[in-house]
């Protein structure tokens, strides 16, 4: 039984990473189509990563710089382990939403350490912006998370997914507002256009990644692909019922749930890309004020609304 469980977990994690890399190519295709361009082939993500990993010479700024490579990939795959994907509870019975929130911080901090060790001033400014972005979008996201926890009276994502079988969370009135706020926070997490402040190529030479090349950049591309899957799956699990359509344990149910999950995260990713193509880049203070003033206010309203619903 345990071996079968490990096999399922390994299968789903690798599938999730491949879906992530596929989405990078698809993302660039969608953005190109919006620009009325042909755009790269859909499998461009795989080629980029293959090219980076087969670079002949690689530079390193010391053992902490290599730590970034290990930390970022390990952290994001560990997060995917703890997220229910397509209704399949990988390890998410063992941990809960707070654990996932802090697991998402491991790659960010490891990445920041690597950038810091590279000694490039652009990298440090990029990391400063990334951490400030994290602080700013974390407030509204956390408030919506607590609203969900109070409503479903549990803090484990797997149970939240189970309780949404009958009705998706987004159908409950206060959670429509909460989903909108969480989607804008998702825009910040995926670092899409209005909030791609940390890795701004024009201002700070692509921020923290200024000194990353070759296999280090390849690992970071895999990390970026992982974040696309991890954040969108988190959003889908919390608000759109985790893509669970059929509940009996048959293979058909696995496939159906997986297909629905795939479609849902594709829609969420496309929505964030469309916002990406239509917005210039904010300054870091504007993003901070946007999240802490307007988003936090909306989130707090939905939190109080849920609180009143729960008490009555």
Q: 35 — phi, psi (to 5°)?
A: -85, 10
Nearer to other proteins, 89 or 264 (CB): 89
Nearer to other proteins, 78 or 264 (CB): 78
Least distance to other proteins from the beta carbon of 271, Å? Answer: 22
Nearer to other proteins, 98 or 294 (CB): 98
Beta partners for 88?
Answer: 85
Among 147, 223, 151, 141, CA closest to 183: 141
Instruction: Encode burial over 10-37: b for 16+ CB neighbours within 10 A, e otherwise.
Output: eebbebbbebbbbbbbbbbbbbeeeeee
| Helix, strand or coil, per DSSP, at residue 85 | strand
Nearer to other proteins, 171 or 309 (CB): 309
Nearer to other proteins, 175 or 288 (CB): 288
Nearer to other proteins, 267 or 308 (CB): 308
Q: Would you say 107 and 224 are in contact if contact means Cβ atoms under 8 Å apart?
A: no
Least distance to other proteins from the beta carbon of 229, Å? Answer: 14
Rounded CA gap, 294 and 304, in Å?
16
How far, in whole angstroms, is CA 49 from its chain's centroid?
19
Least distance to other proteins from the beta carbon of 250, Å? Answer: 27
Q: Would you say 225 and 233 are in contact if contact means Cβ atoms under 8 Å apart?
A: no
Least distance to other proteins from the beta carbon of 256, Å? Answer: 27
Torsion (CA) 154, 155, 161, 164 in degrees, nearest 10: 40
Among 8, 10, 9, 40, CA closest to 25: 40
Least distance to other proteins from the beta carbon of 264, Å? Answer: 24
Q: Would you say 118 and 211 are in contact if contact means Cβ atoms under 8 Å apart?
A: yes
Least distance to other proteins from the beta carbon of 27, Å? Answer: 12
Among 127, 120, 101, 121, CA closest to 197: 127
Q: Would you say 212 and 118 are in contact if contact means Cβ atoms under 8 Å apart?
A: yes
Least distance to other proteins from the beta carbon of 269, Å? Answer: 19
Nearer to other proteins, 149 or 190 (CB): 149
Q: 14 — phi, psi (to 5°)?
A: -65, -40
Nearer to other proteins, 37 or 247 (CB): 37
Least distance to other proteins from the beta carbon of 82, Å? Answer: 8
């Amino acid at each position: 039984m345990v071996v079968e469980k490990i096999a399922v977990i390994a299968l789903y994690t690798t599938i999730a990473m491949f879906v992530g890399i596929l989405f990078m190519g698809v993302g660039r295709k969608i953005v190109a189509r919006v620009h009325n361009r042909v755009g790269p082939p859909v499998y461009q993500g795989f080629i980029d990563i293959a090219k980076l990993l087969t670079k002949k010479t690689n530079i390193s700024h010391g053992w902490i710089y290599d730590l970034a490579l290990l930390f970022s990939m390990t952290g994001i795959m560990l997060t995917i382990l703890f997220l229910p994907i397509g209704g399949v509870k990988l390890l998410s019975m063992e941990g809960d939403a707070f654990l996932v929130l802090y697991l998402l911080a491991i790659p960010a901090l490891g990445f920041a350490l690597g950038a810091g060790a590279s000694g490039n001033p652009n990298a440090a400014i990029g990391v400063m912006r990334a951490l400030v972005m994290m602080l700013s979008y974390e407030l509204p996201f956390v408030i919506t998370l607590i609203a969900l926890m109070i409503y479903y009276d549990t803090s484990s994502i797997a149970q939240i997914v189970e309780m949404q079988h009958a009705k998706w969370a987004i159908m409950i009135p206060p959670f429509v507002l909460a989903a909108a706020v969480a989607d804008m926070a998702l825009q910040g997490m995926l670092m899409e256009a209005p909030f791609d402040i940390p890795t701004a190529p024009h201002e700070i030479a692509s921020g923290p990644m200024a000194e990353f090349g070759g296999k280090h950049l390849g690992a970071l591309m895999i990390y970026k692909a992982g974040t696309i899957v991890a954040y969108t799956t988190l959003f889908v699990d919390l608000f759109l019922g985790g893509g669970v359509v059929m509940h009996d344990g048959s293979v058909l149910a696995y496939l159906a749930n997986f297909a629905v999950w795939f479609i849902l995260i594709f829609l969420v990713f496309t929505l964030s890309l469309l916002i990406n193509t239509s917005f210039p880049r904010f300054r870091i203070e504007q993003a901070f004020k946007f999240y802490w003033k307007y988003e936090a206010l909306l989130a707090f309203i939905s939190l109080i609304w849920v609180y009143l619903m729960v008490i009555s």
